[in-house]
Amino acid sequence: METRHIIPATITQQQPLISIRPISAKDTYALRQAVLWPNKPLSYVQLPDDIFGQHFGAFVSNSNDSDANDNGEDSCNSRDSKQNSEQSLVSIISLFDDGSGAARFRKFATAQLWQGKGVGSALLSYTIEAAARKGATSIWCDARQSALGFYQRFGMSGEGEVFFKGEVPYLRMSRALP
């Protein structure tokens, strides 16, 4: 699977250059823990099925727009050569085939400093497209109740009753794929 670069029309602090690419399950663990379950041990965020999943990461440029040329356009070619050394992993997601034609994403986390800046939205869009390319007819997740509005923007709707993982309320959400 190729790396996708999402380049906003105007690069600002609020609209970072985002690069999305496959990563290993191990590369997701630190961010999973820091964002989702900071008071639990690292082993708590490791899934037995991680070896069967696809894991994606969203990376943002560590530079502060110094690579943009004078007219405000992005000079993507100069960034590509520096990409690996100057990017930070700020959002992760894991995608699984549930065996029934549906895909499930889990452990979706975006670093707090990057929430609300489009990084998680770009990563979820990428993941939904990846599931559809693999032939999934639907996609679902167990969503934290505090994030239901976010998932609704992607056409997902709730099913069933609210349930709890520890003290955190969740709702299953899903949508059909084209």
Strands (E), the chain: 4-6, 18-23, 54-61, 87-97, 102-110, 138-144, 157-165, 168-176
Q: What is the pTM of this model?
A: 0.81
Provide CB contacts within 8 A for 161, sequence distance 6+. 171
Rounded Cα gap, residues 85 and 66, in angstroms: 15
How much is the pLDDT for 86?
84
Residues of the chain with pLDDT under 70: 1-15, 63-85
In this predicted model, what pLDDT tens digit does every residue of 80-124 receive, in sequence order?
434 455 899 999 999 999 888 999 999 999 999 999 999 999 999
- What's residue 101's pLDDT? 92
The CATH number of whichever domain residue 114 belongs to comes to: 3.40.630.30
Is residue 166 situated within a structural domain?
Answer: no
Residue 88 belongs to a domain: yes
**C-alpha separations of 4 from 38, 48, 122, 126, 130 in Å:** 29, 28, 10, 8, 12
Residue 124 belongs to a domain: yes
Task: Report the pLDDT value the prediction gives residue 99, as an integer from 0 to 100.
Answer: 84
Q: In angstroms, how far is the first alpha carbon of the chain from the final one? A: 20
How many distinct structural domains can be found in the chain? Answer: 1
Domain span including residue 16 = 4-137
